[in-house]
Amino acid sequence: MHPDGERILFSEEQILVRVAEMGAEISRDYKGKELLVIGILKGAIIFLSDLVRNITVPLCFDFMAVSSYGASTVSSGVVRILKDLDRTIENCHVLIVEDIVDSGLTLNYLVDNLKARNPSSLKVCTLLDKPSSRKVPVEIDYNGFTVPSEFIVGYGLDFNERYRNFPYIMVLSRRVYEGGN
């Protein structure tokens, strides 16, 4: 484990097994349909890459980049779209793929924004759910793991753009994000 971590929450093997299970579940649910997978950048890219390789129905994917954190560890509540979709989603079966849902503010905004574009269906898939941090209710259709209210990094999740490349998910040491190296 990296020295900036307190402990590993999920090993690479645990993650890959769960992602394969989620891919199989999504494939069953969308059998006979074509799926448009929308990855939320940057955090979901690693999860999305592994997930789509485990989905057997025809699919396309696109990306959105949104921001509500900046360099902070707490959502500001103000969501900004930094990159919008490159295609229309009208009459498409859409699956939003997120790395983590905590406050729910970003996801709530995204769901409302995308529903207004008239998809045939809209579901949410997240690798990690942190319900103890929820500020607004959100519906999650596919959840990999429920996590405690701790600051976690790895497998796409970051702190100041670092740690995304780790193949596991770890709890980040408080000294790192509270400034006391």
Q: Give the residue numbers annotated as catalytic, written as ranges.
A: 102
- Please state the three-class secondary structure of the chain as a single string: CCCCEEEEEECHHHHHHHHHHHHHHHHHHCCCCCEEEEEEECCCHHHHHHHHCCCCCCEEEEEEEEECCCCCCCCCCCCEEEECCCCCCCCCEEEEEEEEECCCHHHHHHHHHHHCCCCCEEEEEEEEECHHHCCCCCCCCEEEEECCCCCEEECCECECCECCCCCCEEEECHHHHCCCC
